[in-house]
């Protein structure tokens, strides 16, 4: 069971992250991009800090300047730029399409892991990754002569930029947790790491959000809007990142690449169930391939 802890954490992390596309789509146009991030992270920290506030000083004191820079880089790519590109992209494309385009993450992460972390891609992992990527291509309609949605070209490019940022974050996280220790000799806990990354990102967004007329916009939000903000903060940020950091400690970046296929699949599923978007046999077949790829990787982690 211990061998499955990492894969289970990664599965939960990317499933929760997939719900973030819908939350972001729901809030898109109602609030400024930086306001959405700032307020959602406020809810995240409000939930998170009571559990890790005492551990923060001791944990951070054991970090070198280089490791603190690495934490900043995780914040910049994994939250700030990822959410910036995603929210901008959602102004021009649908939630389902945006979620599916994040499916570029597995392939990008696998390539970066092989190049920068020197991780080996054995036959079973390669099969799992190929199954995941093939499923995502099938979902997106890039196979069988299906037409790509050119009307949303700008939004699609922005979402692909978000996928690249997510992949860079994956590599930075894996590199960081392999080396980082705190003052008492233990690794930085997922709770503390999530709190630090969230705080840095919120600080980056404060000034830009002040220029988006946040008070007036926030004053007219409905209860559903506030729920979406809280969900984006507590579930998509806190719980997803805690699961992510717990999983990446136990699994390689290439393994994480396969599990990141759950993000577009979850987005597709919820877009159909909650937003009324349509999906045909090709999309569900692609989703099945994504799940198969993840199962292959999970079995490899267990063996």
Per-residue pLDDT tens digits for 199-219: 999 999 999 999 999 999 999
How many C-beta neighbours within 10 Å does residue 15 have? 17
Q: pLDDT > 90: what percent of the chain?
A: 40
Give Cβ neighbours of residue 30 (< 8 Å, ≥ 6 apart): 217, 221, 225
pLDDT digits (tens, 9 = 90+) for 247-256: 998 888 888 8
Q: Which of 32-46, 111-125, 287-301 has the lowest mean pLDDT?
A: 287-301
Angular region, 29: left φ>0, alpha ψ -120 to 50, beta rest: left
CB 130 within 8 A of CB 293: yes
Question: What's the pLDDT at 192?
Answer: 92
Give me the mean pLDDT over the 39-49 stretch: 95
**End-to-end alpha-carbon separation of the chain, Å?**
11
Listed residue (136, 99, 118, 124) closest to 14, CA to CA? 99
Give me the mean pLDDT over the 16-24 stretch: 87
pLDDT digits (tens, 9 = 90+) for 250-286: 888 888 887 887 887 788 788 788 877 776 777 778 7
pTM: 0.82
Alpha carbon separation from 32 to 137, 191, 202 (Å, rounded): 32, 28, 14
How many C-beta neighbours within 10 Å does residue 288 have? 15
Give Cβ neighbours of residue 264 (< 8 Å, ≥ 6 apart): 18, 99, 100, 101, 102, 103, 136, 139, 290
Give me the mean pLDDT over the 52-78 stretch: 90
Give me the mean pLDDT over the 37-48 stretch: 96
pLDDT digits (tens, 9 = 90+) for 3-12: 778 889 999 9
């Amino acid at each position: 069971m211990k061998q499955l802890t990492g894969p289970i954490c990664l599965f939960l992390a990317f499933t929760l992250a997939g719900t973030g596309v819908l939350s972001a789509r729901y809030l898109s146009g109602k609030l400024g991009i930086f306001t959405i991030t700032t307020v959602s992270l406020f809810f995240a920290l409000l939930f998170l800090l009571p559990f890790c506030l005492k551990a923060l000083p001791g944990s951070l004191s054991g970090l070198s300047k280089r490791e603190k820079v690495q934490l900043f880089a995780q914040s910049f790519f994994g939250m700030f730029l990822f959410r910036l590109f995603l929210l901008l992209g959602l102004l021009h494309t649908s939630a389902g399409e945006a979620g599916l385009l994040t499916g570029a993450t597995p392939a990008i992460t696998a390539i970066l892991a092989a190049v920068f972390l020197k991780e080996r891609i054995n036959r079973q992992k390669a099969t799992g990754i190929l199954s995941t990527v093939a499923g995502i291509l099938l979902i997106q309609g890039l196979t069988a002569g299906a037409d790509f949605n050119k009307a949303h070209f700008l939004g699609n490019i922005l979402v692909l930029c978000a996928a690249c940022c997510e992949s860079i974050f994956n590599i930075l996280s894996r590199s960081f947790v392999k080396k980082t220790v705190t003052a008492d000799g233990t690794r930085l806990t997922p709770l503390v790491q999530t709190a630090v990354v969230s705080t840095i990102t919120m600080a980056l967004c404060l000034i830009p959000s002040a220029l988006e007329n946040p008070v007036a916009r926030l004053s007219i939000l409905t209860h559903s809007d506030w729920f979406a903000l809280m969900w984006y903060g507590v579930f998509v940020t806190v719980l997803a990142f805690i699961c992510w950091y717990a999983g990446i400690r136990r699994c390689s970046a290439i393994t994480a690449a396969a599990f990141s296929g759950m993000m577009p699949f979850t987005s597709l599923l919820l877009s159909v169930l909650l937003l009324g978007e349509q999906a045909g046999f090709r999309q569900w077949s692609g989703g099945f391939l994504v799940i198969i790829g993840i199962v292959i990787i999970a079995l490899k982690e267990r063996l």
